[in-house]
Amino acid sequence: MSNQKRVVVTGMGALTPVGLSVPEFWNGLMAAKSGAAKIAQFDVTGHDTQFAHELKNFQAVNYIDRKSVQRMDPFCQYAVIAAEEAVKDSGLEAFSGLDKDRVGVTIGSGIGGMQTYVNQTKNLLQGGPGRVSPFFIPMLIPDISSGHVSIKYGFKGPNYSTVSACATGSHSIADAVMLIRNDLADVIIAGGAEAPICEMGVAGFNSMKALSTRNDAPELASRPFDKDRDGFVMGEGAGILVVESLDHALARGAKIYAELVGFGVTGDAYHMTAPAPGGEGAVRAMKMALKMAGVSPDVVGYINAHGTSTPLGDKQESEAIKTVFGDHAFKLKVSSTKSMTGHLLGAAGGIEAIATILALQNQKVPPTINLTNPDPECDLDYVPNQPVAASLDFALSNTFGFGGHNATLLVKKYSN
């Protein structure tokens, strides 16, 4: 790590089911409450799963002008709003020496404009081709959120969207680190956004038997590492970071939240949806992140787990952590914030990177709620039901996606 350009986080923005800004998000995690409730966005009659983690009290027109809202799918609205919070937080706009040719955007989405696709398909079937909006394609494509953010601020550096299912947000942040270390940019706006809660999204995941069907108690449904878990719960929102070279951040006097010291990106090459046995791909991702940072496993104090509340995934991740960390695995704090936010799919890595950074900043670990009947095969310290104080210098964030995509971020408490 000593020969590599140091990369830090100088701004953060979040829209989540437990808070519509970074401070609200952190307070929501510390309150240890679920954001799940019956779905309000469409009629759930006939759906096996009738609940999700939706954004609460959110109106896009409170952040974006009405005309622009009508030309953006919700996932893009979320990205633009969270990016605005992150950019303001970073102080970039106030820096007169900013070279916008060296500021890029890598905001990904696992699915993109699914709600737009559903709505425009209805228009086509009911009224014919002439009823399809001219904005259909620009609203649909996953890269459009990066495009909108770059246009808004005039950022002309590297600009694209990574798509790797539920690992998307973390891959986008890892890309930001690579771009800066390879001197292709000084600053990257990075993260993920997702708006999958629609008729087709719920029906599709239900057909896979991937979602919890605990309709009688939605707030108890996302229960990672619990023996009674029965599937994940969908969430929506965005998590965006301002990722910057340390030299650039110091030159403009920016506040620094944390240092991104390593990442791991691997593929399972095993199955479309199931993780490799023993979490083999996750093992290699975590080891890669540690090796890149040049640190031993025992320096890590906290892991923000992928922890989706699926029977197979939680077990495999627990096995992977034990493989990488050995005896130290039982001294680690491991928690899944998805127990509170639900699974934001392509946005998960963004909001969970923010949760990991805030855990380092506040020296406090968010809990895994609804962990009341621990699975004997998941036998680590998952910080059940209430946050705890901890002495933390390094923390990991894991995200894994359908298709065998694995991404791990290693974050360090900043020091000169």
Residues taking part in catalysis: 166, 306, 343
**Residue 234 token pair:** 């969908």
* CA dihedral of residues 78, 79, 82, 86 (deg, nearest 10): 180
Q: What is the DSSP string of 240-297?
A: EEEEEEHHHHHHTT----EEEEEEEEEE--S-SSSPPGGGHHHHHHHHHHHHHHT--G
At 62 the three-state DSSP class reads: helix
Q: What is the DSSP letter of 372?
A: -
Please state, in angstroms and rounded to a whole number, the distance separating the CA atoms of residues 282 and 246. 29
DSSP-derived secondary structure letter, 336: -
Q: Which of 103, 111, 367, 411 is nearest to 226 (CA)?
A: 367
User: Who's near 343: CB < 8 A, 6+ residues apart?
Assistant: 166, 222, 232, 233, 234, 235, 308, 309
Return d(Cα 391, Cα 385) in angstroms, integer. Answer: 19
In 3-state terms, the chain is what percent helix, strand and coil (to 5)? 40, 20, 40
Residues, the chain, total?
Answer: 416
Residue pair 219/385 in contact (Cβ under 8 Å)? The answer is no
Tokens of 20: 């519509």
DSSP string, 298-309: GGEEEEE----S
For residue 331, count other CB atoms closer than 10 A to its CB.
Answer: 12
Spell out the SS3 assignment of 198-251: CHHHHHHHHHCCCECCCCCCHHHCCCCCECCCCCECEECEEEEEEEEEHHHHHH
